[in-house]
Amino acid sequence: MVSPRHHTPRADGVLEIRVDVSRAPSSSISAVEGVGFSEDPEDASSIGVRGMTVAFKDLEYIVKNSANRREKISLLSRVSGCLYPGQLTALMGPSGSGKTTLLDVLAGRKTVGQIRGDILFAGHKPSQAFLRRFTGYVEQFDTLLDNLTVEEMLMYTAELKCELRESLGAKREKVAAIIDQLALGGCRGVRIGNALQRGISGGQCKRTNIGIALVTNPRVLFLDEPTSGLDSFTANEVMIVIKMLLKTGMTICATIHSPTPSCFRLFDCMMILLRGKVVYAGPNGLSAIHFFEATNPSVPHYGQQGVADNQAEWIVDLTTKAERAGLADEFAARYAESNLRAANEEVLARDMAERQVSPQILKELRTRRATVTPFYWGVKTILKYRMGRDFRDPAYLGPRVMDKLAVALLLMTLYWHIGKRNFGPNAVNIGAALFMWTILPGFAAAAYTPTLVQERPIFYRERSDGLYKAVTYLVAKLLEEVIVALVQSLIMSCIVFFPLELAGSWALFWYTYFQTTVIGILLAYIIAGLSPNMDVANGALPAFVVIMLFFVGLLIRPQDQPNYWHWFQYIDFLHYAWVAQMINQFEHTQIYIFLNLEILTFYDLRGYNKWAFVGYEAIFVGVFFIFAWLALAFVKHQKR
Ligand SMILES: Nc1ncnc2c1ncn2[C@@H]1O[C@H](COP(=O)(O)OP(=O)(O)OP(=O)(O)O)[C@@H](O)[C@H]1O
């Protein structure tokens, strides 16, 4: 895109665009006057700059039309342009014009659709891992962990995103510098909070999100509506902070809908889209206004009475009205035929040419590793920052402990000393008590779905940022739950086993319950991973558990089940758990129930090894773990 430094206003106020291609940013050293930004880190380190030219040509983005799934539509049409180091570029246009779509395409964040055209970073096609590791993307909506303070959130990201060889001290210094740079010092120790429990302000949230993107010193920073939802003062404050980042030579591109005049002035260049087509690409401000006035004689003149009297408003008014009047194609055609476009194309041709870059940059551009920290480090860091806070949060512990405690107390009081009354019909009651004890972790698994479903935007953002792999997140979440389950199961099994005076091994009684809880957690993760939202998860989990209850063995004996349902008991982990508990209870007694049938014989369980059933159930831990991983890693609910 022709940079502002290549424009001169004429005496009559009309912008004359003089392109000196030989001086336009094009090679490894950009020719932005007076700045001398470099794409070579060796040079960069000496002058502290890190930008990179992003050139894109004839971009098309094709998706299935959501209004008619049999039809395909193009949301971007032949979009070409360039982003330069040390420059702040605005992507403007009315709502729905394709700004976020273009930003996502450039940043490699699209998960659906087909992209055509070329996108080059420093003249080279980047790997997907490069985009995750060396570019920053600030989403429109905040994706922060509300339990952490601002400083913890940044340290958490730094520990997951920076190379292990960087010391903790160096990461702390980096975070301190970011806090300073983003003027977050006043709230560094304040909890981020959420809509219900207020923490930091909206502007501080936005700056914390920017801080997260800055942790690894990105070469290119993409921001989606960085000022949306902020009052004009806070919006200006955030934009000034972004503008300051240009000092490092970073390449920055932000979508912006209706900027305040002060925000608008901070942009160096802009690209305006209408219905996915470029209608202007060039310097910001008067240059754009003069372009529209010169190419569309019918547009109201800037400064004319009754017309918006600030540049940003004039441009927003013009483009929005043009879009609503169905003039998007006409505006796009005028840009396509303009000298400005021809000049832009000439500069772009230079920017697209493959250039020599340092081996270090080439290595970055070709990297295949989006995540730099190893699996164990990821698990440790997630637990370090999240677990302590969660364990102190009653809203976290409550659903994991209280429901089980209530049922355990009910079992204790309802079946008090039942194990002592070892006669016929009472054995059926003992079997029922063991049944309730066995199925409790199945129903209680409902407590584990919300965390995964609600955290999904954060999980997707952190994965896109290359913080960890799906398996790291899964193991960390599971370990955190397993610690609670371990303590909870030890207490509950004592509350139930001893007051009921049950027979057999307490270890089996406890361990089977604990193992069933772990399988329940994994089942909840599978369902959370497959469900598009909480409503589906809430409906699916109890439905699945209820189906499993029928095949546990108590409600209908396996030998009485019709052949076509017989297979189900083998995939019902609760069946194995209950059988193990029943054998544990009755293997050394001979209690006769209906028709003088001994209880284990009645259920066809006599002669089996109880620990074998514990072992069969253990297979579900492995199988469900794999399913949970597949669901988290490959089922994409984010369609962008
Ligand atoms: N699958 C789809 N089928 C049809 N239209 C779609 C599809 N996906 C996106 N769109 C449309 O593409 C357009 C571009 O969306 P995008 O989010 O990029 O707009 P935007 O300019 O960023 O808008 P805003 O300023 O409101 O965020 C919108 O009009 C949207 O409705």
Q: pLDDT digits over 45-98, tens only?
A: 333 447 899 999 999 999 999 888 889 999 999 999 999 999 999 999 999 999
Substitution candidate for ligand 1 out of 79, 100, 112, 278 with most atoms within 8 A of CB: 100
The two tokens of residue 99 are 């700004």
Q: For ligand 1, atom 30, which residue shows the shortest CA distance?
A: 96
Ligand 1 center from residue 43 Cα (angstroms): 40
Confidence class for position 151, pLDDT limits 50, 70, 90: very high
In short, whether 78's Cβ falls inside 6 Å of ligand 1 is no
Q: For ligand 1, atom 16, which residue shows the shortest CA distance?
A: 98
Confidence class for position 190, pLDDT limits 50, 70, 90: very high
Classify the C-alpha dihedral 499-503-505-510 as positive or negative: negative
Q: At residue 407, does pLDDT exceed 70? A: yes
Across 248-262, 289-303, 517-531, the highest mean pLDDT is recorded for 517-531
Classify the C-alpha dihedral 284-286-292-294 as positive or negative: negative
The two tokens of residue 305 are 């009475």
In short, whether 113's Cβ falls inside 6 Å of ligand 1 is no
Closest CA to 494 of 361, 405, 397, 594: 405
In short, whether 96's Cβ falls inside 6 Å of ligand 1 is yes
For the chain, what are the domain ranges?
Answer: 4-140+225-233+248-365, 145-218, 376-634
- Give the per-residue pLDDT at 8: 37
Altogether, the residues listed in the chain come to a count of: 640
- Give the per-residue pLDDT at 181: 86
How confident is the model over 238-259, as a mean pLDDT?
90
Strands 269-274, 88-92: pairing is parallel
Q: How do residues 167-186 score in pLDDT, each as one tens digit?
A: 999 999 999 999 998 889 99
Q: Give the span between the Cα atoms of 193 and 255, in whole angstroms.
A: 26
The amino acid that residue 472 corresponds to is T
Judge whether 409 and 365 are in contact, CB under 8 Å: no
- Give the per-residue pLDDT at 443: 87
Longest dimension (CA), the chain: 111
- Give the per-residue pLDDT at 11: 31
Q: Which three-class secondary structure state does DSSP give residue 272?
A: strand
Q: At residue 422, does pLDDT exceed 70? A: no
Q: At residue 375, does pLDDT exceed 90? A: yes
Q: Which three-class secondary structure state does DSSP give residue 153?
A: helix
Q: How do residues 439-491 score in pLDDT, each as one tens digit?
A: 999 988 989 999 999 999 999 999 999 999 999 999 999 999 999 999 999 99
Tokens 């009315």: give the residue.
94
- Give the per-residue pLDDT at 511: 97
Question: 381: Cβ–Cβ under 8 A, 6 or more apart, which residues?
Answer: 156, 159, 160, 373
Q: Give the span between the Cα atoms of 190 and 102, in whole angstroms.
A: 35
Q: Topology of domain 4-140+225-233+248-365, per CATH? A: Rossmann fold (3.40.50)
Alpha helices by DSSP H, 368-469:
375-391, 394-414, 424-444, 449-454, 456-464
Q: At residue 245, does pLDDT exceed 60? A: yes
Closest CA to 255 of 243, 240, 238, 272: 272
Judge whether 250 and 85 are in contact, CB under 8 Å: yes
Confidence class for position 595, pLDDT limits 50, 70, 90: low
In short, whether 74's Cβ falls inside 6 Å of ligand 1 is no
Q: For ligand 1, atom 18, which residue shows the shortest CA distance?
A: 98
How confident is the model over 115-132, as a mean pLDDT?
94
Q: At residue 1, does pLDDT exceed 70? A: no
Q: Give the span between the Cα atoms of 331 and 314, in whole angstroms.
A: 16
Question: 574: Cβ–Cβ under 8 A, 6 or more apart, which residues?
Answer: 438, 439, 442, 516, 548, 549, 551, 552
- Give the per-residue pLDDT at 3: 55
Q: For ligand 1, atom 26, which residue shows the shortest CA distance?
A: 95
101: left (phi over 0), alpha (psi -120 to 50) or beta: alpha
In short, whether 29's Cβ falls inside 6 Å of ligand 1 is no
Judge whether 467 and 378 are in contact, CB under 8 Å: yes
Crossing angle for the helix pair 394-414 and 424-444, nearest 10 degrees?
170
Ligand 1 center from residue 542 Cα (angstroms): 37
Ligand 1 center from residue 72 Cα (angstroms): 14
- Give the per-residue pLDDT at 195: 76
Confidence class for position 2, pLDDT limits 50, 70, 90: low
**Ligand 1 atom closest to the CA of 75, numbered from 1:** 12
What secondary structure letter does DSSP report for 309? Answer: S
Ligand 1 center from residue 98 Cα (angstroms): 6
Segment (H or E) for 319 = helix 311-324
Judge whether 38 and 28 are in contact, CB under 8 Å: yes
Judge whether 65 and 71 are in contact, CB under 8 Å: yes
- How far lies 418's CA from each of 422, 497, 511, 588, in Å? 8, 10, 21, 17
Express as a percent the part of the chain with pLDDT over 70. Answer: 91
Alpha helices by DSSP H, 167-310:
168-181, 202-214, 232-245, 261-266, 286-295
- Give the per-residue pLDDT at 42: 36
Question: 130: Cβ–Cβ under 8 A, 6 or more apart, which residues?
Answer: 121, 364, 365, 366, 367
In short, whether 111's Cβ falls inside 6 Å of ligand 1 is no
Strand intervals (E) in 40-167: 54-65, 68-83, 88-92, 114-121, 135-138
Q: How do residues 547-564 score in pLDDT, each as one tens digit?
A: 999 999 999 998 899 999
Alpha helices by DSSP H, 445-533:
449-454, 456-464, 470-500, 506-530
Question: 608: Cβ–Cβ under 8 A, 6 or more apart, which residues?
Answer: 579, 583
- Give the per-residue pLDDT at 35: 30
Segment (H or E) for 152 = helix 150-161
Closest CA to 480 of 504, 456, 448: 448
Crossing angle for the helix pair 424-444 and 573-586, nearest 10 degrees?
150
- Give the per-residue pLDDT at 80: 96
Query: What is the pLDDT of the chain when averaged over all its residues?
Result: 88
Q: Give the span between the Cα atoms of 82 and 65, in whole angstroms.
A: 28
Express as a percent the part of the chain with pLDDT over 90. Answer: 68
Ligand 1 center from residue 99 Cα (angstroms): 8
Q: How do residues 488-545 score in pLDDT, each as one tens digit?
A: 999 999 999 999 999 999 999 999 999 999 999 999 999 999 999 999 999 999 999 9
Q: At residue 299, does pLDDT exceed 90? A: no
Q: At residue 221, does pLDDT exceed 50? A: yes
Confidence class for position 353, pLDDT limits 50, 70, 90: confident
In short, whether 66's Cβ falls inside 6 Å of ligand 1 is yes
- Give the per-residue pLDDT at 121: 95
Ligand 1 center from residue 386 Cα (angstroms): 35
More confident residue, 300 or 6: 300
Q: Give the span between the Cα atoms of 182 and 210, in whole angstroms.
A: 8
